[in-house]
Structure 1
Amino acid sequence: MGVMLSVKNLDVYYGSIHAIKNISFEVAEGEIVTLIGANGAGKTTTLHSISGLVKPKSGEITFCGNNLMAVEPHKIIRLGLAQVPEGRRIFAKMTVQENLEMGAYIRNDGGAISEDYEKIFERLPRLKERRRQIAGTLSGGEQQMLAIGRALMCNPKMLLLDEPSMGLSPLLVGEIFEIIKDVNKTGVTVLLVEQNAKKALEIADHAYVLETGSIAMQGDADELANNEKVRKAYLGG
């Protein structure tokens, strides 16, 4: 298992605010890696740096041997890196099916695309029942499923997930995390940014704890889940 994503000495500023301070981490092929930390710790900024939405001041980001700092944001998805943004951002006025079609827009392998619809509907049966429904009328959990399904339609090697549990009931959070685990089992590598540290550590292989723009701790997810400091700060004792 080689390293799929490598972030080295990343520095990001917003004006004079030093938001990300010289962080380094990596994600090996086939893993689920999570970045956990309080609100404002820099988790989303890190993700946005990888997907090209934020321009870092310095550092290196490589994905499958490509220097992402040199790739235009809209071309990053063509390398096999798909992001499920915070707050889902589905196309609210389009149907479920049309949203999924938007996910496949970079592909030109028509036959395989229709197979992938079926795969996604198999994995997310609730979307199949609602394939003709207007996406804006779905529940929050269903919208999150749709955002994941749409990202999977571009057949990515790696999925970046930004706060997938946000605003969902505990029951739905469990369901979404099961879906992430299933997606990973099919061979998609996952980088997960999540405030729900407990859930994230349950499904991840490795974890990095961000505190005010720096990596405070890192290690195997189950080690961190049992670490006294992590438990106190992020797992409610």
Structure 2
Amino acid sequence: MLTVNNIQVYYGAIQALHGISFEVNEGEIVTLIGANGAGKSTTLRTISGLIRAKSGLIEFMGQDITKTPAHKIVKMGLAHVPEGRKIFPNLTVHENLLMGAYTKSDRTEIAASLENVFQRFPRLKEREKQHAGTLSGGEQQMLAMGRGLMCKPSLLILDEPSMGLSPILVEEIFNIIQEINQLGTTVLLVEQNAFMSLQIAHRAYVLETGRILLSGTAADLQANPKVRSAYLGDVIE
């Protein structure tokens, strides 16, 4: 579904990505793990068209999207839920969700998408008329994910969905990610919580200073001594 081939990205004179290559197959959850500054968010922003790669190739559903504008990439079925949620605090929950459906014009389809989001996130239905800025951190993350699902993406990109959440909410968010995947949406996940992301992912890549250091099945990387000591800490023995 997604092929990233040797992309190089710069911020001014500073090189952020040094020829990263990986792929995401239809139906998978693929996770990118690594320390802060490894290039994970930059990778996602480059895929979704928010940053332009200096060189390399990005293909989505067989089409070259390396230089495609972000809004056109969304129309192709790739939605990006950014780090920090980036909800619109002065709009209601309902209005925020409608912003996620701006590529759609069929009112029946939009209504069906809204209903699906409310089934997935019942708390959003309860708070439909509230301003998004009054929601808790966990509810805002659910809103950001719901907004991403409103365009009915075939690939959902999630950047740090558990950031700042309590352990109970983290578990809930990861359960929802699994459910979304099981219902047919492919997921590319960037997550500081390497333990949780490797629990739900099919495959994983480890990034370090803009390069891919390791790759394999999530189970293999969980068992890898380097990954265990660097990213899993004392979570598993």
Long gaps (5+) in structure 2: none
Residue 120 of structure 1 and its aligned partner are, at CA, apart by 1.0
Deviation at 1:66, TM superposition (A): 1.5
Q: CA deviation at 1:16?
A: 2.1
Indicate yes or no: 2:50 matched with 1:48. Answer: no
Which residue pairs with 1:29 in the alignment?
26
Matched, 1:7 2:8: no
Paired with 1:71 and 1:215, the residues of 2 have a C-alpha distance of 24
Q: Which residue in 2 is equivalent to 1:146?
A: 143
Identity of matched residues, %: 63
1:200 aligns with 2:193: no
Query: 2:52, 2:67 within 8 Å by CA — same for their partners in 1?
Result: no
Determine if the alignment matches structure 1 residue 80 to structure 2 residue 89: no
Distance, in Å, in 2 between the alignment partners of 1:75 and 1:148 is 19
Distance 1:127 1:220 in 2: 34
Return the match for 2:185 from 166, 185, 188: 188
Aligned-pair distance for 1:41? Answer: 0.3
Matches within 5 A, 1:163-178: 163-178=160-175
Q: Cα RMSD (Å) of the superposition?
A: 0.8
Establish whether residue 136 from structure 1 lines up as the match of residue 133 from structure 2: yes
Q: 1:110 aligns with which of 100, 107, 111?
A: 107
The alpha-carbon deviation at position 187 of structure 1 amounts to 0.5
What TM-score results when the alignment is normalised by the length of structure 1?
A: 0.97
- Whole-angstrom distance in 2 between the partners of 1:217 and 1:227: 10
* Worse-superposed segment, 103-112 or 198-207: 103-112
DSSP 3-state at the match of 2:128 = coil
For residues 167-195 of structure 1, the C-alpha deviation after alignment (integer angstroms, 9 at most, x for no partner) is 11111111111111111111110000111
Q: Which residue among 17, 20, 44 is the counterpart of 1:20?
A: 17
Match of 2:88 in 1: 91
Aligned-pair distance for 1:45? 0.6
| 4+ long deviations beyond 2 Å | none
Q: CA-to-partner distance for each residue in 1:62-100, whole Å, 9 max, x for gaps?
A: 000111113112211000000001000101011111111
Structure 1: runs of 5+ lacking an equivalent: none
Distance 2:60 2:77 in 1: 9
Counterpart Cα distance in 2 of 1:218 and 1:236? 19
SS at match of 2:66: helix
Aligned residue number for residue 54 of structure 2? 57
**In the alignment, what sits opposite 2:153?**
156
- Counterpart of 1:59 in 2: which secondary structure? strand
Question: What residue identity is the alignment partner of 1:157?
Answer: S
Aligned with 1:69: secondary structure? coil
Cα separation, 1, equivalents of 2:229 and 2:66: 37
| Aligned pairs, number | 234
Look up the match of 2:123: 126
For the residue of structure 2 that corresponds to 1:216, the secondary structure is: strand
Contact 2:87 2:96 in 1 (8 A): yes
Of 216, 220, 228, 1:219 maps to 216
Whether the aligned pair in 1 keeps the contact of 2:49 and 2:67 (CA below 8 Å) is no
2:158, 2:74 → 1: CA distance? 14
Helix, strand or coil at the partner of 2:195 = helix
Letter in 2 for 1:54: I
Q: Matched residue of 2:42: which SS?
A: helix
Instruction: Tell me the amino acid that sits aligned with residue 208 of structure 1.
Output: Y
